[in-house]
Amino acid sequence: MSLARRKVTLTNLSEFSRLMPQVPRDRVIEEMADLSLECSLAYALSKTFLRDGWIAEYRHLHAAAHLSPGNDLLLFATSGSLKLEMPDGSELHIMHGDQVVLRAATEAKVFPVSDAGDVSFLALAVDLDLTEVLQELAIDSPLPKPQ
């Protein structure tokens, strides 16, 4: 994974979702063509999609959700904290602002740890270099460049 992808922050994810309508769809969608995220929604999971095929935000997680990605995913806790239960019985804890990579073909159960309704997370494919896309968008957008 590139250094840029290790440095994903809530700020640039938020900026990326705001700029998504301007993203060069053909190039990015081609890069993300293998993304396959299945999430069982039979529980009290409310979902809002920020994506045009590449980012999903799951808000107000009340009960366990089952993730079965077809591609490596970066999970980023935007509020509250999460517990990931892996098929081998191991557990990962993700605090607010933390991130973890869920490898392709790895199933995991995601449990909210904070108060009900206070847990949200983003899932995105790590094949997408957010920094590169944001830099390209900044060239063509009226956004102020970072000093």
DSSP 74-114: EEEEEES-EEEE-TTS-EEEE-TT-EEEE-TT--EEEEE-S
Question: What are the chain's domains?
Answer: 3-140 (2.60.120.10)
Going by pLDDT thresholds of 50, 70 and 90, the confidence category of residue 2 is very low
16-26 pLDDT tens trace? 555 555 555 55
AA identity, residue 46 = S
- pLDDT of 54 reads 47
Residue 16 has φ and ψ, to the nearest 5°, of -60, -45
Q: Quick check: 110 pLDDT over 50?
A: yes
Bigger pLDDT: 126 or 41?
Answer: 126
- Confidence band, pLDDT 50/70/90 cuts, at residue 63: confident
pTM for the full predicted model: 0.53
